[in-house]
Structure 1
Amino acid sequence: LAQTYNSNPAIAAARSELKATAESLPQARAAFMPDLTFTAYEGFTKTRTETTVTGSSASNKVNETNHDRQIELEATLNVFEGGSGVAGINAAEAQIAAGVASLADTEQGTMISAIEAYGNVVLYAATVQAYVQMRDELLKLKEQTDYQYKSQSVTITDVSQVNAYVAEVEGALYDYVGELNAAKKGFESVIGTSPGTLEKWPELPPLPQTLAETIKIAAAMNPEVIEAEFTLKYGEFMVDYEKGDLLPSLDFSNTVEREWDQERFTSGSDYTEHDMTATWSYGMTLTVPLYSGGATYSEVREAKQTVAQYRGELQDTRNSSVYTAASNWETMVAGKKQVDAYQKQADYTVKAIDGLKRQYSNGTGTMSDVLTAQENLATAYADLYAAQYSTFVAKAEVLEAIGQLTPQILGLDVEVYDSQAYIERMRNTFLGFSLD
């Protein structure tokens, strides 16, 4: 699980997605920051003017050359924007909180995938081991039966029954070996390394004492529920954001400008004029929206309908989380009882096989009885391991449903990703392209 937390690409992608979402906060806060613009201009204008008088051959020709330079620094600050600025910041905060919950959901979902992959390897490794032992026992029985057949103490029917069952067990063994190899590939895909030797059904963190308590926690602490709650808040803030377009806005502007103008005149007498103009202007601009074709009202209605959608999705998500917690709780409880039952079945079947072998040896039992018991033992072991797997995964599913399949609660030896530290760093980052 620690390896999965550190290297799984789905978790890495979810972290990058959250970082992208965190950028909505400085973008929203930019509404309360000044806009600064610097403009510089330099250009030339050449004008030729020729004046003639009707009835006279005299004319006046003037060549004018203008050399203009201009610089301007303008600062604009929004003082009030109908409440859209505050609503935008609140919406960004809610959106980021939903993103944090989404990351937690991805992390815990990936933990479930890792636990399932782990469990699959343990399940099929145990099953393969059981079938190998069973095949070896049958091969011993086959060797004994072949010897007895040569001494004419058993019939060809007994030999054929043993050979047929050896072939059946070997066929099942090959099937489980294939499942084990596939499980190992799945393990590598999720966790990133080959499984090696795994502990059989490691202990997971404890669950709440009762189903009722589990359901209560799932309804409030499931990451998907938390994400849906903050998504609903985001939608509510977006209604206020859209309403802000219907209210007046007030902007303060401050402009400093300097212009140099050099004019060169060429006519009967040449001369040059030099002008320098410095301007400082500031003021407030009040903008009152009156009518925009109904588009703004439509956007407000759309935002309200989206809130209704988010509210329904929240309830659906909560119901789904409660169902997931309850159903997996029941699966876990039933699985524990199945494990006990199948373990007893296997233990008693082993004893029965010993007795049936003795009966067969002294002629009071048949080979068919022995092989039937062997088949029952194979089924008992397969059912036992499947029940252990089901119980193990169901407990993990309950932990995920109540939001407790986290690296902290699992006690993983990892450096836990601190999403809040990154969000706080981005909150006041208004310059730079660095992604660190």
Structure 2
Amino acid sequence: MKVRAPLIAACSLILASAAADAADLVTVYQRALQNDPQIREADALRLASRESKPQALAALLPQLDASGSAEKFKSDGSSLFPSTDGDLTTFVNRQTENDTDTIGWQVQLRQPVFRWDQWMTLKRADAEVAQAEADYRFAQQDLIQRTSIRYFDVLAAQDTVDAAQASLDAFARQLEQAEKRFEVGLIAITDVQEARAAHDQAAAALIQAKRTLATARELLRELTGESFDQLAAPVDDMPLESPNPANEEQWVTTALDQNLQVISARLATDIAKQDVRVARAGHLPSLDIVATHADSEDSGTRTVTNPNTAPQVFPADADGKSDSISLQVTVPIYSGGATSSRVRQQVYLHRAARERLERANRETERLARDSYLGVLSEISRVRALRQAVESSQTALQATEAGFEVGTRTTVDVLDARRQLFEAQTNYARSRYDYILNVLQLQLATGTLDRADLEEINSFLRERTITR
């Protein structure tokens, strides 16, 4: 029991680890959603942009400020004063010293009445928040696409490794048979050399395929923060569905209306337009209501010293309070041309924003058309390559049979095997390309979401990934 208990525990850990390493497309996306720095950055930027609305609103609300001061004041000096003694007037030197403490405070309430730039900033904030939300939603859709691309790149690389390994094994058997046939004099040495060359090329191709697989795995790990030993791959009978509706122009229209990058560019144009209005507000007057209450308290002494007399000390205590309500109008007259320059700058930026919107429209239209045609072409390509694999297998079997009876050479067999290897890798890649084109079309139209991944995920099954 002391031996079996650790063994059972170890087996449980191994099974738990294996289960943790197995993942499908939705699981990998969930890991990416939690760990991808790019989506977390987009979320932080979205939350930061939300704060522009309360900041713009706060500028229109009452502003209450309080200030206080404490002052220690000391001074001394002398001055000449006239002194009359009978008919004789003389001037005497009088010394004066002041030593006072002053404590004061003030409260000011300012209510903006008319500030055009602040009203335009508030309106601009609404568009800025909406743009941030559109950018974050696009970041979520982009994460779905990036995850899918890297996920299926791993599967495609694994398919290439499997095909390269199978090809290497077949070429190894072909080389072994060629060497035996050469030993009994059935074939020439050139056939052996051809088989060895094909074997060496297959070995090199397998090394390269494993290197590509390792890179694809690292790219997926970079996105998710985790490595996966098992990923679900498409089943053999995965349906190939054409876009619905089967109308390219409808997809383009939907993309131009709903694509999140186009929406973001459109909002950026609105923001730039509001910035022009904010800059032009620098030429307009502003109007505020200002209410102020001030209170001050002085304490100290004032000492006066006359010649031949004792110093006289007077208190210097005083209290003061004041209240005022005013209507303040500020009219900008001349700022050295800075305001006009800022207006011109924002006009140019608005022009640039309009051009970015036009570019986004054109890119989105191209992407929608290309993705729509890509889905249709990949459907035909998958079917054609599936038939090509079957044809290549049949051709290889026929070539091997001809080789056995002497009607085909070793070179013919090697070429047939290479064609089968190429057909298998192309067929596997085409199925992934079909899925990615479907996701690309949905991304172009702004409709890509988790439900699309779950639909694709329903046609996947687990397979082991080579390390």
Decide whether the 8 Å contact of 1:204 with 1:410 is kept in 2: no
Higher mean displacement: 313-322 or 335-344: 335-344
Higher mean displacement: 236-245 or 197-206: 197-206
For residue 390 of structure 1, report the CA deviation from its aligned partner: 2.7
For residue 184 of structure 1, report the CA deviation from its aligned partner: 1.4
Q: Indicate the residue corresponding to 1:419 in structure 2.
A: none
Matched, 1:392 2:435: yes
Q: Quick one: structure 1 residues 349 and 408, their matched pair in 2 at CA, closer, same or farther if it must change by over 3 Å?
A: closer
Which residues in structure 2 correspond to 1:335-374 (within 5 Å)? 335-374=378-417
1:220 to 234, 239, 257: 257
> Which secondary structure state, in structure 1, belongs to the residue aligned with residue 408 of structure 2?
coil
Percent identical across equivalent pairs? Answer: 21
Matched, 1:13 2:41: yes
> Which secondary structure state, in structure 1, belongs to the residue aligned with residue 292 of structure 2?
strand
Decide whether the 8 Å contact of 1:262 with 1:274 is kept in 2: yes
1:149 to 177, 182, 188: 182
Q: Quick one: structure 1 residues 205 and 169, their matched pair in 2 at CA, closer, same or farther if it must change by over 3 Å?
A: closer
Q: Indicate the residue corresponding to 1:78 in structure 2.
A: 112
Q: Indicate the residue corresponding to 2:290 in structure 1.
A: 253
1:42-62: CA deviations, max 9, x gaps? 223233354454864855444
> Which secondary structure state, in structure 1, belongs to the residue aligned with residue 220 of structure 2?
helix
Decide whether the 8 Å contact of 2:297 with 2:318 is kept in 1: yes
Larger Rg belongs to: 2
2:63 to 30, 35, 58: 35
Higher mean displacement: 51-60 or 38-47: 51-60
Q: Tell me the amino acid that sits aligned with residue 426 of structure 2.
A: D
Higher mean displacement: 286-295 or 221-230: 286-295
Whole-angstrom CA distance in 1 between matches of 2:202 and 2:96: 113
Which residues in structure 2 correspond to 1:93-112 (within 5 Å)? 93-112=126-145
> Which secondary structure state, in structure 1, belongs to the residue aligned with residue 33 of structure 2?
helix
For residue 166 of structure 1, report the CA deviation from its aligned partner: 1.8
Higher mean displacement: 100-109 or 3-12: 100-109
Q: Indicate the residue corresponding to 2:50 in structure 1.
A: 22
Q: Indicate the residue corresponding to 1:425 in structure 2.
A: none
Whole-angstrom CA distance in 1 between matches of 2:144 and 2:240: 13
Q: Indicate the residue corresponding to 1:303 in structure 2.
A: 346
Whole-angstrom CA distance in 1 between matches of 2:429 and 2:65: 69
Q: Quick one: structure 1 residues 60 and 137, their matched pair in 2 at CA, closer, same or farther if it must change by over 3 Å?
A: closer
Which residues in structure 2 correspond to 1:174-323 (within 5 Å)? 174-201=207-234, 208-210=244-246, 211-267=248-304, 268-323=311-366
Q: Quick one: structure 1 residues 53 and 374, their matched pair in 2 at CA, closer, same or farther if it must change by over 3 Å?
A: same
Whole-angstrom CA distance in 2 between matches of 1:392 and 1:65: 88
Q: Quick one: structure 1 residues 340 and 410, their matched pair in 2 at CA, closer, same or farther if it must change by over 3 Å?
A: closer
For residue 373 of structure 1, report the CA deviation from its aligned partner: 1.4
Q: Quick one: structure 1 residues 226 and 78, their matched pair in 2 at CA, closer, same or farther if it must change by over 3 Å?
A: same
> Which secondary structure state, in structure 2, belongs to the residue aligned with residue 76 of structure 1?
strand
Whole-angstrom CA distance in 2 between matches of 1:200 and 1:410: 13
> Which secondary structure state, in structure 2, belongs to the residue aligned with residue 270 of structure 1?
strand
Q: TM-score, normalised by structure 2?
A: 0.80
Q: Tell me the amino acid that sits aligned with residue 155 of structure 2.
A: V
For residue 69 of structure 1, report the CA deviation from its aligned partner: 1.7
> Which secondary structure state, in structure 2, belongs to the residue aligned with residue 32 of structure 1?
coil
For residue 371 of structure 1, report the CA deviation from its aligned partner: 2.0
2:121 to 85, 88, 94: 88
1:387-415: CA deviations, max 9, x gaps? 23332322222222122333465459xxx
> Which secondary structure state, in structure 2, belongs to the residue aligned with residue 175 of structure 1?
helix
1:217-262: CA deviations, max 9, x gaps? 2112112101101001111222222232222211011111111123
Higher mean displacement: 346-355 or 391-400: 391-400
Whole-angstrom CA distance in 2 between matches of 1:197 and 1:406: 24
Whole-angstrom CA distance in 2 between matches of 1:94 and 1:320: 23
Decide whether the 8 Å contact of 2:240 with 2:379 is kept in 1: no
Q: Quick one: structure 1 residues 141 and 255, their matched pair in 2 at CA, closer, same or farther if it must change by over 3 Å?
A: same
Q: Tell me the amino acid that sits aligned with residue 101 of structure 2.
A: H
Q: Quick one: structure 1 residues 34 and 204, their matched pair in 2 at CA, closer, same or farther if it must change by over 3 Å?
A: farther
Please give the root-mean-square deviation of Cα atoms over the aligned residues, in Å.
2.6
1:278-334: CA deviations, max 9, x gaps? 111111112233444444344334333332322222121011011012112222322
> Which secondary structure state, in structure 2, belongs to the residue aligned with residue 209 of structure 1?
coil
Q: Tell me the amino acid that sits aligned with residue 398 of structure 2.
A: G
1:195-225: CA deviations, max 9, x gaps? 3211224889985423222211211211210
Matched, 1:404 2:419: no
Q: TM-score, normalised by structure 1?
A: 0.86
For residue 171 of structure 1, report the CA deviation from its aligned partner: 1.9
1:77-99: CA deviations, max 9, x gaps? 21111x22221011122122222
Decide whether the 8 Å contact of 2:35 with 2:223 is kept in 1: no
**Which 5+ residue runs of structure 2 have no aligned equivalent?**
1-28, 84-88, 305-310, 456-467
Q: Indicate the residue corresponding to 1:380 in structure 2.
A: 423
1:123-165: CA deviations, max 9, x gaps? 1101111121222223233333333333334443433332222
> Which secondary structure state, in structure 2, belongs to the residue aligned with residue 253 of structure 1?
strand
Whole-angstrom CA distance in 2 between matches of 1:85 and 1:218: 35
Matched, 1:3 2:31: yes
1:171 to 204, 224, 230: 204
Q: Tell me the amino acid that sits aligned with residue 185 of structure 2.
A: Q
Decide whether the 8 Å contact of 1:205 with 1:409 is kept in 2: no
**Which 5+ residue runs of structure 1 have no aligned equivalent?**
413-436
For residue 384 of structure 1, report the CA deviation from its aligned partner: 1.7
Q: Quick one: structure 1 residues 370 and 270, their matched pair in 2 at CA, closer, same or farther if it must change by over 3 Å?
A: closer
Q: Tell me the amino acid that sits aligned with residue 245 of structure 2.
A: Q
